[in-house]
Structure 1
Amino acid sequence: MTSSRDTMTAAVVVTHSRTVGRVLLQGGTVVALVLLLAFFFAMRPDTFLSFVNVRNILYQVSILAIIAAAQTIVMVVGDFDLSVGATSSLAGSVSATLMLGNSPIPVAIVAGLAVGLLVGLVNGVLIAYLNLSAFVATLATMTSVIGLAYLVTAGTTLFGMPAAFNALGQGRFLNIPLPVYSAIVIALVIWCALRFTTVGRRWHAIGGNVEVARLSGVNVRFARLLAFTMAGLVSAIGGILLAARLGSASAEQGGNNMMFSVAAVFLGMTVLRSGAANLGGTMIGVAIIGVMSNGLNILGVNAYVQQVVTGLIIIAAVTLSSLKTRER
């Protein structure tokens, strides 16, 4: 009797442990964000969750949120884009150069957006129609685009853009920086496109199973081309806003956003049971990165240590995503 009762108790404990494990795996990203908020609030209760600091966090991650949204589009399709950061830098540099050459602000912005579209289109053609791997194609594109950005800027940092342009990145509405609103609008548009449009459903279908999508009548090549093109355009928006926020443009000022955008998407993959890329999860991943960076700065942690922590977070994100895929 005792042996039978012990066996039942052990079975209940094992079942409970597995349930807890699934819950942690399912909501690991959300739990991590809550724990980070709690930790930094406990360390700096008078500063961390103040309105000013929360606003600073939103301001700091606004551009990353836009770049990560671009990365999400591509990763929904089952690919990834190493060139999003370089594309944003080139777009900002082109717009800045044209404005310094007395071109009207709208013309300079449209030119920057056209650069993003062109880079995305090139990526799409290389990957969808020439069948190059996304890693090889976007790595090559990233290298070339960085070189073009250096040529456009002559290897210097560009200053002196018109005040009206800088206001796009430095202005405020209701005491909230304008890039925060831009990031929210872009994220909502992309979320709606992924969730409610035919193109979005096709992207999800391709990311789930390319062959099934093809047999279902989806033009896989064109859909992948469109995904990379849209990612290029959104990256360009981020780069132009970054130039406006900083009041300057350089060849590599958006470079770190590529690494952070990939980390944010991987972190967000644990939010859904399917373990697929999704915009809501990506934004949670962006929040984790922003909260961590801001909290470590408040605590006075060395910048090099922050780089180590960032690397560990990327490893954790990929590991969680891998575990989620195996569970599937």
Structure 2
Amino acid sequence: MTTTQNPGIEDASRTRAVPRRSVGQALLSSGTVLALVVLVVFFFAMRPDVFLTFTNVRNILYQVAILAIIAGAQSLVMVVGDFDLSVAATSALAGAVAASLMLGGMPVVLAILIALAVGLLIGIANGLLVAYLNLSAFVATLATLTSVTGLAYLVTEGTTLFNLPPEFNALGQGRFLEIPLPVFFAIAILLILWFVLKYTTLGRRWYATGGNVEVSRLSGVNVRRARLLAFAFAGLVSAIGGILLAARLGSASAVQGEDNLLFSVAAVFLGMTVIRSGAANIVGTVVGVAIIGVMSNGLNILGVNAYVQQVVTGLIIIAAVTLSSFKSRER
């Protein structure tokens, strides 16, 4: 005996099978972009004569270019589910090494290549500690942060290195189409990172590792090597940021750009809420960097005390982590 299923019941079951997103979930996904729009509108309303002028927009891009590079490096590590506290220290050491070598008479190109190698080696060291010695990423990179900062002080002898070659400074201070060169470098690096994460096998392995280590391992992914490569590339990218920062300032010191650590973490966490999966991603990180840049620039234009800006930055980090946590629960 056969039974005929009621079409209405079948349609209803299909309807129930498709999950509907609540208003809260929709706001959570679009909240980061919405926050950026609100900040732009607010600061424009407060200072319409200054905020959205070409000169000020260019200044914002110039200010966040190095941060965007460092945040891109942080994104790579967080994609695989780890964390790197040493990205800012690595960038400072790379800039200090390049500056010290050039002041010692070494050609600019060779000094830059050696500084990049230093960043890569630091990243490899982090990867070995975390992926192969099974140390906590937080503990391992905290130890690296301390050691690398000490090395930077040794390289600079506790002073600020200046009088760098003009051709080196041009990398950070030059312009093309009236836009500072670091902006173009940042765009190029972020595009490369985005392409690697989205369209390459390595990028898919990184995301798989960050999603579930055990499942990735059972699927044939060499999890240890994937994590090692993420840290290695993060060190290399951080070194690029440090070299450009030294070129931009025309000097190098052991603590140069130390604020970029917290800002990069905040940017990545903010970016995690942009996509539905709640994972670190380059597009979201760019949005997070833009929020930080717009906020900092806007508060400066309004004459807000620097200490108040520190408080606001802390609140942004708390909000970013909280939103990321909600996103993970949703997933």
Q: Does 1:273 align with 2:276?
A: yes
Per the alignment, residue 203 of structure 1 pairs with 206
1:19 is displaced (CA, Å) by: 2.8
Q: Deviations over 1:60-107 (max 9, x none)?
A: 000000000000000000001000000000000000000000100001
Match of 2:149 among 134, 146, 151: 146
Match of 1:34 among 28, 32, 37: 37
Q: Deviations over 1:229-287 (max 9, x none)?
A: 00000000000000000000000012111111010000000001111100000000000
3-state SS of paired residue (2:164) = coil
Per the alignment, residue 4 of structure 2 pairs with none
Report % sequence identity: 77
Tell me the TM-score normalized by structure 2.
0.93
Q: Report how many residues are paired.
A: 311
Alpha-carbon distance between aligned partners in 2 of 1:132 and 1:42, rounded to the nearest angstrom: 49
1:98-137 maps to which residues of 2 (within 5 A)?
98-137=101-140
Alpha-carbon distance between aligned partners in 1 of 2:250 and 2:174, rounded to the nearest angstrom: 12
Match of 1:249 among 226, 239, 252: 252
Per the alignment, residue 234 of structure 1 pairs with 237
3-state SS of paired residue (1:27) = helix
Q: Does 1:220 align with 2:242?
A: no
Per the alignment, residue 175 of structure 2 pairs with 172
Runs of 5+ unmatched residues, structure 1? 1-17
Per the alignment, residue 187 of structure 2 pairs with 184
Per the alignment, residue 3 of structure 1 pairs with none
Q: Does 1:299 align with 2:312?
A: no
Per the alignment, residue 22 of structure 2 pairs with 19
Per the alignment, residue 157 of structure 1 pairs with 160
Alpha-carbon distance between aligned partners in 2 of 1:47 and 1:80, rounded to the nearest angstrom: 38
Alpha-carbon distance between aligned partners in 2 of 1:102 and 1:154, rounded to the nearest angstrom: 17
Runs of 4 or more off by more than 3 Å in structure 1? Answer: none
1:45 is displaced (CA, Å) by: 0.4
The alignment's C-alpha RMSD in Å is: 0.6
Runs of 5+ unmatched residues, structure 2? 1-20
Q: Deviations over 1:123-142 (max 9, x none)?
A: 00000000000000000000
Alpha-carbon distance between aligned partners in 1 of 2:27 and 2:39, rounded to the nearest angstrom: 15
Alpha-carbon distance between aligned partners in 1 of 2:257 and 2:31, rounded to the nearest angstrom: 28
1:326 is displaced (CA, Å) by: 1.0
Alpha-carbon distance between aligned partners in 2 of 1:107 and 1:81, rounded to the nearest angstrom: 27
Per the alignment, residue 15 of structure 2 pairs with none
Per the alignment, residue 85 of structure 2 pairs with 82
1:327 is displaced (CA, Å) by: 1.2
Alpha-carbon distance between aligned partners in 2 of 1:47 and 1:86, rounded to the nearest angstrom: 34
Tell me the TM-score normalized by structure 1.
0.94
- Letter paired with 1:97: S
